Amino acid sequence: MRYENLLVDVSERIATVTINRPKSLNALNPATVRELGAAMEELAARPDVGAVLLTGAGEKAFIAGADLTVMKGFTTMEALDFSLLGQRVLGFIEAMAQPVIGAVNGFALGGGCEVAMACDLLIAADTARFGQPEVNLGIIPGYGGTQRLPRLVGRNLAKELVLTGEMISAQRAYEIGLVNKVVPAAELMGAAREIAGKILSRGPVAVRTAKMAMNRGLDLDLGNACALEASLFAAGFSTSDREEGIAAFLEKRKANFTGK
């Protein structure tokens, strides 16, 4: 598909999706969110895509938030539709089989922070800034920020960020467990591709089922979550990848996984 607000490139089984509205600091409007959903659905169905990198165009912003020039005129029902649209798209990103790595190159605020939190891993430039500043506008996060943030960093830190609306640095985001790694801005995409490459070298079926186990298990009590893990662990023994992986380890050679 052709997109007006996104750039999509696939190379060496890694898809790079770039929110491409640099003049508005990549702010999210309904059209951009719909395109993001369509792009992710397309990539999820492609057998030549094993991982996805998500970033923003330009040097200033990953996604600076929602497009307030559009939001200011919302009715109550339009606001509800916009919130539910974003939640559906971010839910899909979180649940899609391929790992999604956010390469946060600048401001990740409001909806941008929420998009980042839907990714499986986050690599941030040292110039990046994170925050949920919606209370400064008299509203609350609408794309899952009040729910994903406490699950990622804990209740009290999440409340501090949401209730004060203050921004934090990339280093602080790393310290509280919001991002996985902070690198110089010039090294961001290389670092993101490096970790994607590591994931792609592992067993594809195992990567997919491990992601599913962690995502679904978080909403279960520990006993049921471990039962889910056990069933997925056992299912792995029906795959060719399991045979190849164990044989390669015992024979001290590189595994040749087929994803079957």
How do residues 5-27 score in pLDDT, each as one tens digit? 999 999 999 999 999 999 999 99
Instruction: Decide which of 2.60.40.1510, 3.90.226.10, 3.40.50.280, 3.50.50.60 is the CATH code for 6-200.
Output: 3.90.226.10
Residue of 134, 229, 243, 244 marked active site? 134
**pLDDT for 179:** 98
Residue of 114, 166, 229, 244 marked active site? 114
> Are 215 and 117 within 8 A, CB to CB?
no
Given pLDDT bands bounded at 50, 70 and 90, which one contains residue 77? very high
Q: What whole-number distance in Å separates Cα of residue 28 and Cα of residue 167?
A: 19
Among 49, 57, 77, 78, CA closest to 6? 57
Q: Which whole number is the average pLDDT over 156-182? A: 98
What does the CA dihedral 245, 251, 256, 259 come to, rounded to 10 degrees?
-20
Q: What whole-number distance in Å separates Cα of residue 64 and Cα of residue 66?
A: 7
Given pLDDT bands bounded at 50, 70 and 90, which one contains residue 258? confident
Give the side-chain half-sphere CA count within 13 A for 37. Answer: 16
Mean pLDDT of the residues in the chain: 96
156 Cβ neighbours under 8 A, 6+ residues apart: none
> Are 192 and 53 within 8 A, CB to CB?
yes
Quick one: CATH architecture of 204-250? Orthogonal Bundle (1.10)
| pLDDT of 259 above 90 | no
Question: Which string of DSSP letters, residue by residue, matches the chain?
Answer: ---SSEEEEEETTEEEEEE--GGGTT-B-HHHHHHHHHHHHHHHT-TT--EEEEEESSSSEEE--B-HHHHTT--HHHHHHHHHHHHHHHHHHHHSSS-EEEEE-SEEETHHHHHHHHSSEEEEETT-EEE--GGGGT----SSHHHHHHHHH-HHHHHHHHHH---EEHHHHHHTTS-SEEE-GGGHHHHHHHHHHHHHTS-HHHHHHHHHHHHHHTTS-HHHHHHHHHHHHHHGGGSHHHHHHHHHHHTTS-------
* Region at 19 (left for phi over 0; alpha for psi -120 to 50; beta for the rest): beta
> Is residue 134 flagged as an active site residue?
yes
What does the CA dihedral 227, 176, 32, 12 come to, rounded to 10 degrees?
-70
pLDDT in tens, 18-62: 999 999 999 999 999 999 999 999 999 999 999 999 999 999 999
> Is residue 41 flagged as an active site residue?
no
Least confident of 1-5, 61-65, 134-138, 174-178: 1-5
**Could you give the residue range(s) of every CATH 1.10.12.10 domain in the chain?**
204-250
Give the residues across from 74 on adjacent strands. Answer: none
| Share of residues in the chain with pLDDT > 70 (%) | 100
